[in-house]
Amino acid sequence: MLQILANRTYRHLFLAQVIALIGTGLATVALGLLAYDLAGAEAGAVLGTALAIKMIAYVGVAPIAAAFAERLPRRAMLVSLDLVRAAVALFLPFVTEIWQVYVLIFVLQSASAAFTPTFQATIPDVLPDEKEYTRALSLSRLAYDLESVASPMLAAALLTVVSFHDLFAGTVIGFLASAAFVVSVALPSPKAAERRGIYDRTTRGLRIYLSTPRLRGLLALNLAVSAAGSMVIVNTVVLVQAGFDLTQTDTAIALAAFGCGSMIAALMLPRLLDRTPDRFAMFSGATILVAGLFIGPLVPNFASLLPLWLAIGIGYSLTQTPSGRLLRRSAQPEDRPALFAAQFALSHACWLITYPLAGWLGATAGLGTTFIALGLIAIGAVAAAARLWPAPDPDEIEHTHHALAGDHPHLAGATRVGSGHRHTHVFVIDSHHPDWPAQR
- At residue 302, the pLDDT reads 95
Stretch 149-167: mean pLDDT: 70
The mean per-residue pLDDT over the stretch 112-119 comes to 83
pTM over 0.85: no
Residue of 270 and 288 predicted with greater confidence: 288
- What number of other Cβ atoms are within 10 A of residue 391's Cβ? 9
Q: Give 291's strand partners.
A: none
Residue 312 contacts residue 224 (beta carbons within 8 Å): no
Task: Provide the residue count of the chain.
Answer: 440
Whether the pLDDT of residue 159 is over 90: the answer is no
Q: Where are the alpha helices (DSSP H) in 40-97?
A: 43-69, 74-91
Interval 297-329: pLDDT, tens: 999 999 999 999 999 999 999 999 899 899 989
Q: What would the pLDDT profile of 259-284 be if each residue is shown by its tens digit?
A: 889 889 988 988 898 899 999 999 99
Backbone phi and psi for residue 104, each to the nearest 5 degrees, phi listed first: -65, -40
* DSSP structural state of residue 301: S
All structural domains of the chain: 1-187 (1.20.1250.20), 205-391 (1.20.1250.20)
Please write the tens of the pLDDT for every residue from 13-43.
989 988 888 887 777 667 767 776 777 656 5
Give the pLDDT confidence of 188-206 residue by residue, as tens digits: 765 555 556 656 667 888 9
Percent of the chain with pLDDT over 70: 88
Q: Which residue, among 279, 10, 274, has the nearest Cα to 131 in the 3D structure?
A: 274
**Cβ pair 309, 261 in contact under 8 A:** yes
Question: What's the farthest any 2 CA atoms get from each other in the chain?
Answer: 78
71-91 confidence digits (pLDDT tens) = 778 888 899 999 999 999 999
Lowest model confidence (mean pLDDT) among 179-183, 194-198, 238-242, 257-261 = 194-198
